[in-house]
């Protein structure tokens, strides 16, 4: 971490995002050509290419590059941007497998990978199987992106440690998420633990650490970044939970009924269940997780979320966490452009409508 430099150039997040996209698309274009030479199915890279083109906020890769800047990284950032792209490829793996587990039909306004392949081949199980493999390949290729980024071996070794921890955390987080519907609907601690592992660490903390490690950051920098990352990551997920129920499908790219039909045990739902009277609780128990839930049923659930004050409490929680993250940011003399960009991303993560 260097002292703040007042005349440093601001970080252009849009330009950075374009460079990340270029790496991803260049890598997959090369894989498409290589598949032809190997007489291997070009569906695998092209399906991934389509998936990545369909959208995504690129929050994780941007945070990775900002972690590098925050930790005083200077000079050529080519290898850092490629590492950032590797995180996005890893995220594609997570989402493709998550969509199978959640039986989601739509993602980013398009059919999910397993549904696309099922429709293409007229066979549900084949679609799921092919999507499992395409997810597996995204994971394998995220590693290839990392290992061909041009990091010096000792840096790569340090980076791999962060990546290995991150992968374990997100897989454990998803496993917990899968199993929470088997426990009591009022388990607030379980819902928060899912948020911490599946989002706060995975989406914000570890990407920042990946970047920081590439700048050779000391442990104190990692700890300082965590103080910003964990509350922000929780706020991000709490916003996501609200958007999953109150958001507009045209903005979020996914049907507003998905989370409710799946019976997701979000903090929002847990708070409502804890505070519900007998009639409200009965309504939640009956409608949540029902695969046939319609818009009328969803509206009745939203009434309970509003009436119990659960929605307002979650808004308060988001606000408190955002303040906590920004306070942690101000407490450390990060280089000014990195601090400004982290402040901007914090706003984008919690104020968004998609």
Give the interface with a second copy as residue ranges (CB under 8 A).
35, 38-41, 43-44, 97, 100-101, 103, 121, 125-126, 129-130, 132-134, 136-137, 139-141, 143-144, 147, 153-154, 156-157, 160-161, 164, 167-168, 171-172, 174-176, 178-179, 182, 193, 197
Query: Which residue's CB is nearer to a second copy, number 38 or number 54?
Result: 38
| Cα 205 from chain centroid (whole Å) | 11
Angle CA 283–303–319, to nearest 5: 120
Q: Are 146 and 164 in contact (CB under 8 A)?
A: no
To a second copy, the closest distance from the beta carbon of 137 in angstroms equals 5
**Cα separation of 72 and 334, whole Å?**
8
Half-sphere exposure of 325 (CA within 13 A, CB side): 28
Query: Which residue's CB is nearer to a second copy, number 26 or number 41?
Result: 41
78 token code pair: 């080519």
**Cα separation of 131 and 121, whole Å?**
12
**Cα separation of 281 and 277, whole Å?**
6
**Cα separation of 244 and 240, whole Å?**
6
To a second copy, the closest distance from the beta carbon of 197 in angstroms equals 8
Query: Which residue's CB is nearer to a second copy, number 133 or number 307?
Result: 133
To a second copy, the closest distance from the beta carbon of 144 in angstroms equals 5
Query: Which residue's CB is nearer to a second copy, number 103 or number 274?
Result: 103
**Cα separation of 276 and 326, whole Å?**
33
**Cα separation of 203 and 57, whole Å?**
11
Query: Which residue's CB is nearer to a second copy, number 17 or number 186?
Result: 186
Q: Are 149 and 65 in contact (CB under 8 A)?
A: no
To a second copy, the closest distance from the beta carbon of 210 in angstroms equals 15
To a second copy, the closest distance from the beta carbon of 273 in angstroms equals 21
To a second copy, the closest distance from the beta carbon of 57 in angstroms equals 23
Query: Which residue's CB is nearer to a second copy, number 132 or number 340?
Result: 132
To a second copy, the closest distance from the beta carbon of 117 in angstroms equals 10
Distances (CA, A) of 301 to 199, 298, 312: 25, 5, 15
Q: Are 221 and 227 in contact (CB under 8 A)?
A: no
Query: Which residue's CB is nearer to a second copy, number 183 or number 333?
Result: 183
């Amino acid at each position: 971490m260097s002292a703040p430099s007042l005349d440093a150039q601001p970080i252009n997040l849009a330009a950075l995002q374009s460079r990340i996209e270029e790496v991803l698309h260049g890598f997959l274009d090369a894989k498409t050509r290589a598949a032809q030479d190997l007489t291997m199915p070009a569906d695998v890279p092209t399906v991934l290419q389509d998936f990545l083109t369909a959208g995504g906020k690129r929050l994780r890769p941007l945070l990775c590059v900002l972690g590098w800047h925050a930790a005083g990284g200077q000079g050529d950032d080519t290898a850092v941007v490629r590492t950032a792209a590797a995180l996005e490829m890893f995220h594609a793996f997570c989402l493709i497998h998550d969509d199978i587990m959640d039986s989601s039909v739509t993602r980013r306004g398009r059919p999910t990978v397993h549904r696309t392949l099922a429709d293409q081949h007229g066979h549900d199980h084949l679609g799921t199987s092919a999507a499992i493999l395409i997810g597996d390949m995204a994971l394998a290729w995220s590693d290839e992106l990392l290992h061909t980024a041009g990091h010096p071996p000792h840096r790569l070794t340090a980076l791999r440690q962060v990546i290995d921890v991150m992968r374990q955390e997100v897989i454990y987080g998803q496993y917990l998420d899968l199993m929470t519907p088997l426990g009591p609907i009022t388990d607030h601690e379980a819902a928060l633990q899912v948020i911490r592992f599946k989002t706060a660490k995975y989406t914000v903390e570890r990407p920042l650490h990946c970047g920081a490690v590439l700048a050779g950051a000391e442990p104190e920098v990692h700890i300082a970044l965590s103080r910003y990352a964990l509350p922000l990551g929780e706020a991000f997920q709490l916003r996501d939970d609200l958007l999953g129920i109150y958001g507009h499908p045209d903005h979020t790219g996914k049907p507003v009924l998905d989370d409710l039909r799946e019976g997701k045990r979000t903090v929002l739902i847990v708070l409502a269940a804890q505070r519900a009277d007998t009639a409200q609780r009965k309504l939640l128990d009956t409608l949540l997780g029902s695969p046939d839930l319609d818009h009328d049923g969803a509206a009745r659930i939203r009434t309970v979320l509003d009436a119990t004050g659960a929605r307002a409490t979650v808004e308060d929680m988001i606000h408190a966490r955002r303040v906590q993250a920004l306070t942690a940011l101000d407490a450390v003399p990060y280089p000014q452009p990195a601090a400004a960009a982290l402040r901007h991303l914090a706003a984008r993560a919690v104020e968004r409508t998609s």
